[in-house]
């Protein structure tokens, strides 16, 4: 178990540090937005494009986070989106060492358009298991955080998932019916017959269409949501707002913090790609670097099932309706 | 012009009333959420389909808004989602009379799942033209408002669109490329060949696929977003966060306030359904009850175009990539 290398006291201290770091990094993102809005002495010169500003903010915030972590925990490994993306390798680099896996700015397109669904994402991983997660969306001042054994929280005061009294509801008996599906169109828009884009859309359609249609695959989800931020998709799944998050193509820094929070809230995360026999295949913990994720919200028991059973039933029903995606990579 | 029946002073007074009413109604929505978090039970009954849930809150908040308006402006007409939906008619009932068109709770599915994208929507219409709009999303405390000739605002302090210094950017030269597309899957999930669901998805795909693919229709939008609230889609288009909002199937109470705000911010709203010749057809103001909407964000001039020209160019490029939807109704 991940936490065995650290005492709870040590983890609590790291958690407090991560929450503070997330808030400060988010504040930098917000200041960058406000610079774009307010003009005056901080006005952007016209020669600077919005894209340059984002790149600069992205790099500045990552440098700030990295320096803060290396100052406080010099022995820990650090993987950030910006430093990683500049290298040549696409290998999965996380091993059993304590590792910080961070995205200084998730939802970059949203950030450039000042759509509030952007955030900083800070995950702390031990033995491949994200044990601490901090996600801060500064424009709407929503902080999602968790530490193993300490629960998951919204703004450090409301326990996640939000619907927890008198008890967390089980997944609906008709799931994916009555569920909110969270999914993203992503960046792979190549017009390749049976390629990732078409497989994604076919999967969305199966989950959305009226019950039993499309050769029995129609899932009649309650709603389909796309926010443009895998990190916030996970945060809202931990909150209980989204029931199912199905995604391929994002990276470990997009999901490390969100997986920590979703797991601590009581959710389940496994692979997006359906196995050969979705009815009986084992439901394994997700591989962090797999780029293929299926998250299910926290669920409580019903008269006939444990919460976990209702989640696993939902995983299998999703698997029956989705296509395999191709996001293979070395090392994962 | 709509405002001619009322003096600006009268409209300003109605605007102040509407803003206050929106805040108070939103507070009721928030209190209802907090009751659910704290253990209260919420009666949820099924309406038309599994997707169409109405809550007691919906009815209570509409009754509160209606009573407030009838007390203050007894001569004005009132159309609310809940009272309308209980009648048998699906006719378009708005005429040239001063009319309040309100949705006590837009984003009902989000509300039931406690996903923050729900809001109250209050529009005031004169001569078929929405002249005042108030949208309040209480969970994230975002108030969007406008009055004709008074500008559009976020939280009564930031002018919309948000990116306005040194000037509002024109629509991108490659639009729909580099645009964020806002769209919704909606409630019509019937598996009918070439039906509304498939026409919507084909349109989304055309707009999303790499430039020039799909027989030249590929639009390579920067991102595809679905929030589950037509009202908030419009609000974020007015903010400049979304560049293009393309939607069929929602109703006048979903859009009255949002259209007021988007128009006052400098946006354009016309029909979603492409005409026979998208290159030359006139771009007419949207019909409020048409259930077919195409909104374009506020845009400033470039060296070669006025803002309006860049918006109209975008409308035509969208029309070339989307299918006609069937949401005909009597009276509209």
> ipTM exceeding 0.90?
yes
Question: What is the reported pLDDT for A49?
Answer: 55
Using CA of residue A6, residue A7, residue A10, residue A11, what is the dihedral sign?
A: positive
B81 assigned binding-site residue: yes
Percent of chain A whose predicted confidence (pLDDT) is above 90: 82
CA neighbor of A227 nearest in space, from A318, A73, A98, A117: A117
* Residue A329 Ramachandran class (φ > 0 left, ψ -120 to 50 alpha, else beta): beta
B244-248, strands of its sheet edge to edge: B223-225, B180-182, B244-248, B292-296, B268-270
A238 CB neighbours in chain B (<8 A) are none
* Cα of A60 to nearest chain B Cα, Å: 22
Question: What is the reported pLDDT for B326?
Answer: 94
Q: Beta A151-154 vs A180-182: how paired, if at all?
A: unpaired
Compute the distance between CA of residue A51 and CA of residue A57 in angstroms, rounded to an integer. 10
List of E strands, A138-240: 142-147, 151-154, 158-160, 180-182, 223-225
- At B279, list the tokens: 């290159």
Q: Given A142, A208, A227, which is nearest B225 (Cβ)? A: A227
Cβ contact (<8 Å) for B228 and A228? Answer: no
Give the tens place of pLDDT for each residue, B295-308. Answer: 999 999 999 999 99
* Three-state DSSP state, A85: helix
Instruction: Tell whether the model's pLDDT for residue B168 goes beyond 60.
Output: yes
Residue-level pLDDT, tens digit, chain A, 332 residues = 444 489 999 999 999 999 999 999 999 999 999 888 865 434 444 444 555 667 789 999 999 999 999 999 999 999 998 777 666 667 888 888 999 999 999 999 999 999 999 999 999 999 999 999 999 999 999 999 999 999 999 999 999 999 766 678 999 999 999 999 999 999 999 999 999 999 999 999 999 999 999 999 999 999 999 999 999 999 999 999 999 999 999 999 999 999 999 999 999 999 999 999 999 999 999 999 999 999 999 999 999 999 999 999 999 999 999 999 999 877 66
Q: Given A113, A165, A218, which is nearest B37 (Cβ)? A: A165
CA neighbor of A60 nearest in space, from A80, A40, A39: A80
B276 assigned binding-site residue: no
CB-based contacts of A7, cutoff 8 Å, min separation 6: none
Give the tens place of pLDDT for each residue, B277-291. Answer: 999 999 999 999 999
Binding positions of A for Mg(2+): 81, 103, 105-106, 254
Instruction: Tell whether the model's pLDDT for residue B242 goes beyond 60.
Output: yes
CA A124 to chain centroid, in Å, comes to 14
CA A47 to chain centroid, in Å, comes to 35
Half-sphere exposure of A216 (CA within 13 A, CB side): 2
Q: Given A39, A142, A189, which is nearest B165 (Cβ)? A: A39
B226 CB neighbours in chain A (<8 A) are 224-226
CA neighbor of A108 nearest in space, from A31, A189, A33, A198: A33
Which residue in chain B has the smallest CA separation from A158? B37
Which residue in chain B has the smallest CA separation from A196? B209
For chain B, give every domain's residue range. Answer: 2-160, 180-319
CA neighbor of B255 nearest in space, from B147, B112, B157, B125: B125
B37 CB neighbours in chain A (<8 A) are 158, 162-165
Helix axes B230-239, B252-265, angle to 10 degrees: 0
B93 assigned binding-site residue: no
Q: Given A39, A163, A178, which is nearest B114 (Cβ)? A: A163
* Distance from the first to the final alpha carbon of chain A: 20
Which residue in chain A has the smallest CA separation from B178? A109
CA B7 to chain centroid, in Å, comes to 26
Instruction: Tell whether the model's pLDDT for residue B137 goes beyond 70.
Output: yes
How would CATH label the architecture of B180-319? 3-Layer(aba) Sandwich (3.40)
CA neighbor of B106 nearest in space, from B67, B58, B174: B58
* Cα of B152 to nearest chain A Cα, Å: 15
Instruction: Tell whether the model's pLDDT for residue B73 goes beyond 60.
Output: yes
Q: Which long-range contacts (CB under 8 A, 24 or more apart) does A302-305 make?
A: A302/A170, A302/A173, A305/A170
Question: What is the reported pLDDT for B86?
Answer: 66
* Three-state DSSP state, B44: strand
- For residue A201, the surrounding DSSP H or E stretch is helix A196-208
Q: Given B38, B166, B241, which is nearest A113 (Cβ)? A: B241
Instruction: Tell whether the model's pLDDT for residue B61 goes beyond 80.
Output: yes
Cβ contact (<8 Å) for B165 and A43? Answer: yes
Q: Beta B53-55 vs B44-46: how paired, if at all?
A: antiparallel
Q: Which CATH class for the A2-160 domain?
A: alpha beta
Count of beta carbons in the 10 Å neighbourhood of residue A5? 14
Which residue in chain A has the smallest CA separation from B238? A115
Question: What is the reported pLDDT for A2?
Answer: 43
Compute the distance between CA of residue A63 and CA of residue A65 in angstroms, rounded to an integer. 6
């Amino acid at each position: 178990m991940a936490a065995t290398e650290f005492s709870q006291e040590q983890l609590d201290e790291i958690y407090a540090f991560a929450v503070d770091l997330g808030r400060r990094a988010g504040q930098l993102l917000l200041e960058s937005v406000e610079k774009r809005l307010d003009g005056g002495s901080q006005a952007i010169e016209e020669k600077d494009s919005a894209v340059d500003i984002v790149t600069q903010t992205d790099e500045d915030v990552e440098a700030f986070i990295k320096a803060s972590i290396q100052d406080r925990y010099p022995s820990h490994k650090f993987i950030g989106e910006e430093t990683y993306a500049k290298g040549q390798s696409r290998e999965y680099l996380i091993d059993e060492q304590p590792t910080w896996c961070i995205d200084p700015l998730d939802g970059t397109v949203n950030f450039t358009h000042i759509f509030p669904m952007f955030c900083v994402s800070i995950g702390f991983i031990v033995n491949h298991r994200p044990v601490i997660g901090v996600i801060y969306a500064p424009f709407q001042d929503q902080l999602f955080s968790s530490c193993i054994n300490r629960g998951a929280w919204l703004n450090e005061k409301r326990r996640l998932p939000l619907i927890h009294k008198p008890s967390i509801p089980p997944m609906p008996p008709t799931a994916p019916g009555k569920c909110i599906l969270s999914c993203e169109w992503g960046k792979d828009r190549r017009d390749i017959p049976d390629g990732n884009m078409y497989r994604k859309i076919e999967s969305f359609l199966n989950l959305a269409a009226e019950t039993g249609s499309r050769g029995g695959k129609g899932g009649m989800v309650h709603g389909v949501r796309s926010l443009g931020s895998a990190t916030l998709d996970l945060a809202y799944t931990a909150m209980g707002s989204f029931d199912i998050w199905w995604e391929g193509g994002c990276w470990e820094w997009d999901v490390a913090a969100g997986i920590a929070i979703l797991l601590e809230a009581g959710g389940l995360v496994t692979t997006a790609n359906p196995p050969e026999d979705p009815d009986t295949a084992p439901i394994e913990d997700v591989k962090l670097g797999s780029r293929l994720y299926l998250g299910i919200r926290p669920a409580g028991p019903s008269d006939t099932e444990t919460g976990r059973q209702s989640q696993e039933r939902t995983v299998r029903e999703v698997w029956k309706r989705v296509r395999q995606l191709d996001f293979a990579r070395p090392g994962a």
